[in-house]
Chains A and B, each alone.
Chain A
Amino acid sequence: MFAYLLLLPAGALILVLVGVPFLNALWLSFHKKLLGAVDAPWIGLANYAALLGDAAFWQAFRNTVVFTTGSIGSKLILGLVIALVLNEALPFRGLWRSIVMLPYAMPTLVSVLVWKWMYNDVAGVLNYLVSGAHLSDHQILWLGDPNIAMPAVIAVNVWRGFPFFVITILAGLQTVPQELYDAAKVDGAGVWQRFRQVTWPSILPVVAVTTLFSAILTFNDFSIIWILTQCGPGNATNVLATLTYKIAIPGLELGKGVAVSVLMLPILVLLIVLLNRFISRREEFA
């Protein structure tokens, strides 16, 4: 009984502020509900059918996959390499670690606005540097060229998120006992082999958990893209999270917007199930 009591605050909170709204929203997705309108006729799966037949939906889906895998892959590799470097005995290590945390510690709204300002094609710093270094003879449309916009947006996401990977992987690296390295060295293993045989297996659980966790958050991420490009140019950076918002709020079709979110659920469920699997497996061994 006591056990359930301890769970009560968390449970009640989540039920009222997440469960009820979600069920409400799910119910709405089967109706034709316009924002602000009073009547909402039942239309069954019509919203879903319309979405699955809409090219814009599939483009958003593709963009989401590109955005998520591109961001997570880059964050993982960058985070891993930097964590490995910071694990070494460098002078002023604490200072470097603090600086590396800067992008993560800066408020998202502020850092995205700064990047938007830096990406500006007329007065932006990046174009100023590029033309100053004579790397290009014309202005680069960082957020205006459909081929460059997605990488540009991914770059901001990676900039913001890689410190999370650095810190958690660094923490994982520090739990690897020195004896394992020494044993490997005695066996004549080189740097790369030591990494492959000692480091990587030890940190794999941490990497997996961090990656999945970050994937879930990146998949749902809305504000970075919305502030930077508002889904442009030509829907090149429209992802499912921004599509939901666009359909529901400016487009006023609340039912349809919710349907997009519901269609995102299978992938999220998969990610969360994987996350859970990794965590509980480690807890078994704990």
Chain B
Amino acid sequence: MANRSMLSRRAFLATMTTGFGIALLAACSAPPSPSTPGSAPAGAAAPTSAPAAASGARKQVLFWGRQQFLPESNDYLTESVKLAAQKGGFDVSVQLFTNDEHPQKEVVAMESGVVPDITYTYAPALWNQNGYALEVQALYDEIGKSGGGWLDLADGSSKTSAGKRIAVPMNNEPWFLHLRKDKFAEAGVTLPFKTWDEMIAGFQKVNKPDQGFYAFDGQMTEADWVGNGLPFMWAFGGRLFDKEGNPTINTPQNIAGLKAYTDLLKNKMMPPGVVSQKASGNNEAWLSGQVAAVSNTGSIVLAMRKDNKELLANTYLQAFPSQAKPGTFVEAAGSATLVINQKSANISEAMQIARMILSPERYPTQLEKAGSYWFPIMKNYLSLPFFTQDEWNKEVTENIAPWTLASTADSGLSPIYDDMVISATNDMLQAVAVQGKSPEEAIKILADAAAAAKAKFKL
């Protein structure tokens, strides 16, 4: 026993000393990062994003963004930002976050006052709500002119319901229907669908639930609601808000749209798994050959380009036909936007960055590098070879993008809308799909959530 404890004592002391050595080394080799202004002493009581530049010292600018799937796209964007910094004589730090991290980082940033100078975000309404969004109408007009004018989509993605221009849109991220050419042909259905009834009839013909093959995969959660549940409502003529920004959710048209969507599940035209699918659910359903149709943004096309060209060849893309106005189409689109922090000390530098990213020299290549995720939001770039030569890009640019509306087109950017799509849409869909409530009851959930959000944000 004595022998053993002596051995362990030696071993223990040895580990302690090596441990301290490592700790010391670690402390020495991890100096505070010089390019994160947040950690430098801020001094001022009001939340600022970067310390005021001392005379002669270079300005430190912080840029936040979303990480795109293709690394080339992220690298190119970072390059644009750094180029602007180089030209303008300031230093910049670029931080890109994934889809899950980004929203949380944003709110935590606003809470603590450590806010970037310029951010590429999907939640401009939130930045405005908390008093951080700079009014950028002049910048918006300037950049729009350099690109040949904005598409209609841009307006709804960058202006609040009060009419304040708080963001500069960077792209059009449209949703679109993916249809299995081979499966529909087998079932004797001709594409494209020109009317809503044609589409539903087509779905019925191609649907084979006993063989585990379904017509459409639409999630019954908040995930991808913008591209699935919302277009169904729009197709029936429903609208979420009126021009003043008041919620108009509990209407017969919206209820009809919701009913059409959930009926697909009820009538076994959707895989049963949709009740719990999150964002990747319809990707998986499509790529594994379980369904004949899905609605998604460019990520599925990207995956097919990468390692399933055969499936890509069998894919037809189109917008949702309208039921209320046959012959027209509806489609939703998201838009990544640039918001500038109005409390920043580096506003002109931030504007330089925005101009560089969207400049005619950098923007076209940025669109290309993003694969089929980013589509042009300014008119000049619609005719880029990248969008006219590739078969699927062409379909999107010519036949789908013209019909796209920002999901916030009705009301403009509004924290009510953002709040609703986080969990109220989930509750509404789950009420019908899982809890067996009627669409009339379920739509009230969304309407109540909008009213609660109105109270929450004191609007």
Q: Do chains A and B touch in the complex (CB under 8 A)?
A: yes
CA of A139 to CA of B427, assembled, Å: 24
**Other-chain contact of A250, B103, B277, B288 (Cβ < 8 Å):** B103
Q: Mark B415-436, 1 if CB is under 8 A from A, else 0.
A: 0000100110011001100110
CA of A234 to CA of B430, assembled, Å: 5
CA of A102 to CA of B223, assembled, Å: 34
Q: Please state if A144 and B272 are interface contacts (CB–CB under 8 Å).
A: yes
CA of A36 to CA of B103, assembled, Å: 12
Q: Assess A149 versus B422: contact at CB under 8 Å? Given A35-B107, A122-B285.
A: no
**Other-chain contact of A143, B276, B284, B457 (Cβ < 8 Å):** B276
A42 to chain B, nearest CB (A): 15
Whether, in the assembled complex, A86 has its beta carbon less than 8 Å from a beta carbon of chain B, the answer is: no
Whether, in the assembled complex, A34 has its beta carbon less than 8 Å from a beta carbon of chain B, the answer is: yes
Tell me which residues across on chain B come within 8 A of A123, comparing CB atoms: 284, 288
Within 8 A of B (CB), among A226-241: 229-230, 232-236
Q: Please state if A139 and B276 are interface contacts (CB–CB under 8 Å).
A: no
Within 8 A of A (CB), among B283-311: 284-285, 288, 290
Tell me which residues across on chain B come within 8 A of A141, comparing CB atoms: 272-273, 275-276
CA of A91 to CA of B126, assembled, Å: 63
Whether, in the assembled complex, B104 has its beta carbon less than 8 Å from a beta carbon of chain A, the answer is: yes
Give the number of chain B interface residues (Cβ < 8 Å): 35
Whether, in the assembled complex, B58 has its beta carbon less than 8 Å from a beta carbon of chain A, the answer is: no
Q: Please state if B423 and A250 are interface contacts (CB–CB under 8 Å).
A: yes
**Other-chain contact of A36, B111, B288, B419, B434 (Cβ < 8 Å):** B111
Whether, in the assembled complex, B129 has its beta carbon less than 8 Å from a beta carbon of chain A, the answer is: yes
Within 8 A of B (CB), among A99-126: 120-123
Q: Please state if B126 and A36 are interface contacts (CB–CB under 8 Å).
A: yes
Q: Please state if A38 and B288 are interface contacts (CB–CB under 8 Å).
A: no
**Other-chain contact of B131, A38, A146, A251 (Cβ < 8 Å):** A38
Interface of B is mostly: helix
Tell me which residues across on chain A come within 8 A of B221, comparing CB atoms: 232
Within 8 A of B (CB), among A187-238: 229-230, 232-236
Tell me which residues across on chain A come within 8 A of B9, comparing CB atoms: none
Whether, in the assembled complex, B271 has its beta carbon less than 8 Å from a beta carbon of chain A, the answer is: yes
A78 to chain B, nearest CB (A): 27
CA of A266 to CA of B285, assembled, Å: 45
**Other-chain contact of B275, A35, A37, A233, A235 (Cβ < 8 Å):** A233
CA of A168 to CA of B7, assembled, Å: 26
**Other-chain contact of A144, B106, B273, B431 (Cβ < 8 Å):** B273
Q: Please state if B130 and A122 are interface contacts (CB–CB under 8 Å).
A: no
Whether, in the assembled complex, B110 has its beta carbon less than 8 Å from a beta carbon of chain A, the answer is: yes
CA of A138 to CA of B210, assembled, Å: 9
Tell me which residues across on chain A come within 8 A of B208, comparing CB atoms: none
Highest count of chain B CB atoms <10 Å: which of A35, A138, A143, A253: A35
Additional pairs, 7, CB under 8 Å, beyond known A120-B284, A138-B272: A35-B110, A143-B276, A144-B275, A144-B276, A234-B275, A249-B104, A250-B423
Residues of B within 8 A of A (CB): 103-104, 106-108, 110-111, 126, 129-131, 212, 221, 271-273, 275-278, 284-285, 288, 290, 419, 422-423, 426-427, 430-431, 434-435, 456-457
Ranked nearest first, the 3 interchain pairs of A and B with the lowest CB-CB distance are A36-B110, A144-B276, A234-B434
Residues of A within 8 A of B (CB): 34-38, 120-123, 138-139, 141, 143-146, 149, 229-230, 232-236, 246, 249-254
A-B contact pairs, 26 of them (CB 8 A): A34-B457, A35-B107, A35-B111, A36-B110, A38-B130, A38-B131, A122-B273, A122-B284, A122-B288, A139-B212, A139-B272, A141-B272, A141-B276, A143-B276, A144-B275, A146-B434, A229-B276, A232-B221, A233-B275, A233-B276, A234-B430, A235-B427, A251-B423, A252-B419, A252-B456, A253-B456
